[in-house]
Chains A and B, each alone.
Chain A
Amino acid sequence: MDIVVCIKRVPATDAAIKIAADGKSIDTAGVQFELNAYDEFALEQALRIKEQLGAGSVTVVTIGPKEAQKELRDTLARGADKAVLLTTDKWVYDPSSTAQALATWIKTVPCQLVLCGRTAVDSDNNQLPANLATRLGFACVTEVSKLVLENGKFTAERDIEGGREIVTCGTPAVISCQKGLNEPRYANLKGIMAAKKKPFEEKAAELQAPAVEIVAMTLPPARAGGRILGQGKDAVPALIAVLRNEAKVL
């Protein structure tokens, strides 16, 4: 099975976020970037499916700046076969045009399965995988926390309110990966050395005009620090009193 894994380079989840001077983007000075956490589950699942079948290929693709080479190299070191960087010089916010550009590229390569993280932790859109699948005409299951491949058919589990859905589909398919799906592997030295010889392709992303434009980005109002009511269990009556009389939540 030829598998495409879509990844994104995002600010680290422990980064403090500041708004840039234009009021429409984040100030990236001093911000560490990393591979989007959910994409690690997608890559791991792709590697496991290739191992299970004993055949096929894993190609990792991203739309992003030149700097995303780092995250792509990391996926090669973990075991992906090929990396493709569809370059753009600006931060692409709009998932519709991203999906469109990815669909355009995916149609040019052999692909029976696309794996994505369930969302990117920067823009929190959670819409690319289903949008992409629809544009490709592929089956799609989103936010999958368990996935079994048997006789060319997938059985996937996803959380819904108050339970889990068991969904089946064949290929070609787009599947988006939730935390809990697997335990991602990390690169070892051998992998890092091998990654240097693996194919790495770079070309400009074919992005259309965005469907959504950013008007402004603002920081939510800061929470005023509260007060320490005391030490140990002796402070519990004071807590009960403020919860009842001030916060009025009891």
Chain B
Amino acid sequence: MSNIVVIAEVRAGVLKRPSLEAVTAALQLASATGGKVTAVACGSGLDAAAAELGKSGAHQVVAIDGPTFADYSGDAWARAIAEQAKASGASAVLMAHTAMGKDLLPRVSALLDSALVTDVTGVAFANGGFTAQKPAFAGKVTMSLRAARAPFCASLRPNNFAAASGGAPAATTKVAPPAGDLLAVVKEIVASGIGRTPLQEAKVVIAGGRGLKEPAHFKLIEDLAAAFGPGVAAVAASRAVVDAGWRPHREQVGQTGKVVSPPLYIAIGISGAIQHIAGMRTARTIVAINKDPEAPIFKIADYGIVGDAFEVVPALTAAIAEIVKHK
């Protein structure tokens, strides 16, 4: 009972990169437990994704592949995966903490009546037990936890482990999806924000707040983000402007929004309430632009400019555009 199972996420036939990060964590644990890593994927038409998983360093791949699994169904997939986890004698089950991971792993854990730690930033196996670290209170606290039931399940925060690659090709076992009723079914996936960089994957996050005075002025933020070139920067917002209906909730950074840790975070017209800081304090470099020299955001920013966003931001946008042009 020392094997590790990774639940790999495949969408539209494409293996998602955070799943390879989970393989890395699984290989680390397996070297401590002395077990093997089995990657399990669900879907329809999994050959290419299974082949890629087979080269990740996982020792074995199980593809639960069939037309009834073409669309995600949390309840049916969880049952199929829990069966595989039991069959492979898993002592731990890992998955990426994505929209699917957040939905699927708690169900697998419930079926296994296991321990589950979510949004994990570190895992270990020592003295016969699994431990995990996770941020809580939106990053105000780090918790260290120990699994008191077996198996140990953990969903891993993306961008915390390197993606696994370059293993010896592993054998793939194809399994038909088990029969059974689907309680909830995905009818449709609507793509949105095409061409927009996802907030949690962006290298640069430009966030705007109340200091912009009205929704139309977010154009300043969008222009600055665009100046970094395609696929680099994402627009974010403080809770105040999301609550005021200026910006959609998916852009909110903070305790009731997203937690981001990009290499560069630029806060514009944001005072820096505790609950906002909780969502961006782990950014590598923080820049603040604010009219009020006493704004709390300057206490955590690496660099600050005291000034009017309407004057400073266009100048910054022009300077960034100039640099990007010459790259």
Which of A's residues lie within 8 Å of B, judged by CB? 11, 13-17, 19, 26, 37-38, 95-96, 99, 121-135, 138-143, 145, 155, 158-170, 173, 178-180, 209-220, 223, 225-233, 235-237, 239-240, 242-244, 247, 249-250
Provided the pairs A140-B74, A145-B249, A247-B285 are in contact, do residues A26 and B184 lie with their beta carbons within 8 angstroms? no
B141 touches A217 (CB 8 A): yes
Return chain A residues, CB-CB under 8 Å to B287.
239, 243
Whole-angstrom CA separation of A217 from B299 in the bound complex: 24
Nearest opposing residue in chain A for B254, CB measure: A13
Nearest opposing residue in chain A for B274, CB measure: A14
Return chain B residues, CB-CB under 8 Å to A140.
74-75, 103, 107, 183-184
A163 touches B189 (CB 8 A): yes
B148 touches A210 (CB 8 A): yes
Question: At the interface with chain A, which of B38-46, B50-58, B169-177, B308-316?
Answer: B308-316
CB of A142, distance to nearest CB on chain B (Å): 5
CB of A163, distance to nearest CB on chain B (Å): 4
Return chain A residues, CB-CB under 8 Å to B306.
228, 230-232, 235
Whole-angstrom CA separation of A226 from B286 in the bound complex: 9
B285 touches A215 (CB 8 A): no
B255 touches A13 (CB 8 A): yes
A131 touches B106 (CB 8 A): yes
Return chain B residues, CB-CB under 8 Å to A37.
256
Q: Which of B114, B145, B184, B273 has the most CB of A within 10 A?
A: B184
Whole-angstrom CA separation of A240 from B326 in the bound complex: 14
Q: Is residue B166 within 8 Å, beta carbon to beta carbon, of the partner chain? A: no
Q: Which of B255-282 contact A (CB under 8 A)?
A: 255-257, 263-264, 273-275, 281-282
Nearest opposing residue in chain A for B194, CB measure: A162
Return chain A residues, CB-CB under 8 Å to B216.
none
CB of B297, distance to nearest CB on chain A (Å): 10
Whole-angstrom CA separation of A139 from B180 in the bound complex: 13
A232 touches B312 (CB 8 A): yes
Return chain A residues, CB-CB under 8 Å to B98.
160-161
A139 touches B284 (CB 8 A): no
CB of B177, distance to nearest CB on chain A (Å): 18
A17 touches B140 (CB 8 A): yes
What mask results when residues 148 to 174 of chain B are scored 1 for a CB within 8 Å of chain A, else 0?
110000000000000000000000000
20 A-B interface contacts by CB (under 8 A): A14-B275, A96-B116, A99-B110, A130-B74, A135-B110, A140-B103, A140-B183, A145-B249, A159-B250, A160-B99, A161-B198, A215-B144, A217-B142, A218-B144, A235-B312, A236-B305, A240-B319, A242-B303, A249-B284, A250-B320
Whole-angstrom CA separation of A225 from B300 in the bound complex: 5
How many residues of chain B are within 8 Å of chain A by beta carbon? 94
Return chain B residues, CB-CB under 8 Å to A161.
16, 98-99, 198
Return chain A residues, CB-CB under 8 Å to B256.
13, 37-38, 121, 179
Q: Is residue B215 within 8 Å, beta carbon to beta carbon, of the partner chain? A: no
Whole-angstrom CA separation of A14 from B248 in the bound complex: 21
Which of B's residues lie within 8 Å of A, judged by CB? 16, 72, 74-75, 78, 98-100, 102-107, 109-111, 113-119, 131, 134-149, 183-194, 198, 204, 242, 248-250, 252, 255-257, 263-264, 273-275, 281-282, 284-287, 293, 298-308, 311-312, 314-316, 319-320, 323
In the complex, which of the residues A121, A211, A214 contacts B137, with contact meaning CB atoms closer than 8 Å? A121
CB of A183, distance to nearest CB on chain B (Å): 10
Return chain B residues, CB-CB under 8 Å to A26.
137, 141
Return chain A residues, CB-CB under 8 Å to B273.
14
Provided the pairs A96-B113, A213-B145, A233-B315 are in contact, do residues A228 and B293 lie with their beta carbons within 8 angstroms? yes
Nearest opposing residue in chain B for A15, CB measure: B274
B189 touches A125 (CB 8 A): no
Secondary structure dominating the interface of B: mixed
Return chain B residues, CB-CB under 8 Å to A233.
307, 311-312, 314-315
Instruction: Supply 13 further A-B pairs (C-beta < 8 A) apart from A26-B141, A226-B301.
Output: A14-B273, A123-B143, A131-B109, A139-B184, A140-B75, A159-B250, A180-B248, A209-B148, A216-B143, A226-B303, A235-B307, A247-B264, A247-B284
Nearest opposing residue in chain A for B9, CB measure: A161
Provided the pairs A225-B299, A239-B316, A249-B285 are in contact, do residues A218 and B187 lie with their beta carbons within 8 angstroms? no
Whole-angstrom CA separation of A139 from B119 in the bound complex: 24
B249 touches A235 (CB 8 A): no
In the complex, which of the residues A134, A165, A168, A179 contacts B72, with contact meaning CB atoms closer than 8 Å? A165
Return chain B residues, CB-CB under 8 Å to A235.
305-307, 312
Whole-angstrom CA separation of A41 from B214 in the bound complex: 26
Return chain A residues, CB-CB under 8 Å to B192.
162-164
Return chain A residues, CB-CB under 8 Å to B274.
13-16
CB of B203, distance to nearest CB on chain A (Å): 8
A127 touches B105 (CB 8 A): yes
Provided the pairs A134-B75, A215-B131, A243-B287 are in contact, do residues A163 and B190 lie with their beta carbons within 8 angstroms? yes
B302 touches A127 (CB 8 A): no
Return chain A residues, CB-CB under 8 Å to B136.
122-124, 217
Provided the pairs A142-B103, A163-B191 are in contact, do residues A213 and B146 lie with their beta carbons within 8 angstroms? yes
B145 touches A127 (CB 8 A): no
Return chain A residues, CB-CB under 8 Å to B144.
214-218
Nearest opposing residue in chain B for A218, CB measure: B142
